[in-house]
């Protein structure tokens, strides 16, 4: 299957205007898609670039009477501000749908409609979060506004992925990995490596996050599958409250001390720092866990050794 570049990770919020301003103020993000409304999902959102990675700040369209009847509204009412899902570009959504059908993974199209027929190659499809540990989205940007908006695939756009390294206090090239909490690492590894065709890169444990971890590269992005094993950590608390879910985003940085000092200026608190990775307080980052790390996942796309 042709799973390629990361499309985005969704940061769900109930305060979209404030969140968009925060990303601009703290990270000087480049706006890829301006604030817009999507009727079929009853949502308001934008797309912003931080390094070579895209974040979608998103809120249900609270001004629309039936917003809570749609999947994004239901998610917000259940989980509140939280990381929501991971999306990739693909050449053929239909091929992914066929593979999902063979492996009993439910697939939906816009508005949370279950699809039992092969979608067109250019369709956007979403998996059921219970079947893939969290919701995943796949779409072909060809023919959509994204083929123009996304400077990573439109060479006519003026964009420097190293701008943040050269110019910003948070010297980041983009995501190091993004974390999904799992109750069963064998099952989740089977889904991401065997069914979806990802590459198993590394296994380990982390005293900092209190987790057992499996790192799998899917497309150009590393997914960390994590099982909490230590009480009192952010991961353990999220799992106890929300079970299997998209949990955290870890961005590669060049210098932890400089990053932490800058965050302190911006009112972003540090929860833990082991000299290699720091975790910031979700209460100071609009409800979601971020990690900032100088570590490269062995064999991953940022590993230069």
- What pLDDT does residue 122 have? 83
Q: Which residue has the tokens 């991961």?
A: 235
Instruction: Give the residue-averaged pLDDT of 123-127.
Output: 94
Domains of the chain, with CATH numbers? 3-149 (3.10.180.10), 167-293 (3.10.180.10)
The predicted-structure confidence for 31-51, as pLDDT tens digits, reads as follows: 999 999 999 999 999 999 999
Q: What is the pLDDT of residue 7?
A: 98
Q: Which percentage of the chain shows pLDDT scores above 90?
A: 94
Strand, helix or coil for residue 18? helix
Cβ-proximal residues to 194 (8 Å cutoff; 6+ apart), any chain:
none
Q: Among residues 84, 295, 87, which one has the least CA distance to residue 202?
A: 295
Averaged pLDDT, 82-111: 95
Question: Which whole number is the average pLDDT over 131-145?
Answer: 95
Strand order in the sheet with 199-206: 199-206, 211-218, 221-228, 174-181, 245-252, 290-293, 277-280, 270-273
Confidence at residue 1, expressed as pLDDT on a 0 to 100 scale: 59
Q: What is the pLDDT of residues 57-75, one digit of tens each?
A: 999 999 999 999 999 999 9
* Cα distances (angstroms) measured from residue 103 to each of 132, 190, 196, 280, 301: 11, 11, 10, 37, 28
Q: Is the pLDDT of residue 158 over 90?
A: no
Residue-wise pLDDT tens digits, 170-190: 999 999 999 999 999 999 999
Judge whether residue 212 has pLDDT over 70. Answer: yes
Provide the pLDDT for residue 121. Answer: 82
pTM to 2 decimals?
Answer: 0.97
pLDDT interval class at 123 (50, 70, 90): confident
Q: Residue 70: name the closest of 31, 22, 108 by CA.
A: 108
174 touches 253 (CB < 8 A): no
| Per-residue pLDDT tens digits for 243-291 | 999 999 999 999 999 999 999 999 999 999 999 999 999 999 999 999 9
Q: What is the mean pLDDT of residues 7-17?
A: 98
Q: 274 is written with which tokens?
A: 């082991």
What value does the mean pLDDT take over residues 219-235?
A: 98
Distance, C-alpha 101 to centroid of its chain: 24
């Amino acid at each position: 299957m042709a799973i390629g570049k990361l499309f985005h990770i969704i940061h769900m919020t109930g305060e979209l205007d404030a969140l968009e301003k925060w990303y601009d103020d703290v990270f000087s993000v480049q706006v890829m898609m301006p604030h817009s409304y999507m009727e079929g999902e009853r949502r308001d959102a934008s797309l912003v670039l931080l390094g070579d990675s895209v974040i979608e700040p998103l809120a249900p369209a609270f001004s629309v009477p039936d917003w809570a009847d749609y999947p994004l509204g239901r998610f917000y009412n259940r989980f509140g501000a939280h990381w929501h899902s991971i999306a990739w570009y693909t050449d053929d959504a239909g091929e992914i749908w066929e593979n999902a059908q063979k492996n009993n993974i439910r697939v939906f199209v816009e508005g949370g409609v279950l699809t039992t027929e092969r979608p067109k190659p250019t369709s956007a499809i979403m998996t059921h979060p219970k079947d893939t540990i969290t919701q995943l989205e796949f779409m072909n940007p060809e023919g959509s506004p994204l083929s123009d908006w996304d400077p990573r695939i439109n060479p006519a756009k003026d964009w420097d992925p190293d701008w943040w390294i050269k110019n910003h206090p948070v010297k980041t090239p983009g995501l190091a990995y993004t974390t999904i909490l799992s109750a069963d690492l064998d099952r989740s590894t089977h889904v991401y490596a065997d069914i979806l065709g990802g590459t198993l890169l590394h296994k380990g444990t982390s005293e900092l996050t209190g987790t057992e971890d499996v790192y799998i590269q899917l497309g150009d992005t590393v997914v960390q599958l994590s099982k909490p094993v230590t009480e009192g950590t952010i991961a353990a608390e999220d799992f106890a409250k929300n079970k299997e879910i998209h949990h955290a985003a870890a961005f590669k940085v060049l210098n932890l001390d400089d990053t932490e000092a800058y965050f302190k200026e911006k009112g972003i608190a540090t929860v833990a720092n082991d000299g290699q990775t720091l975790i910031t307080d979700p209460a100071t980052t609009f409800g979601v866990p971020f990690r900032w790390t100088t570590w490269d996942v062995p064999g991953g796309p940022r590993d230069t050794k």
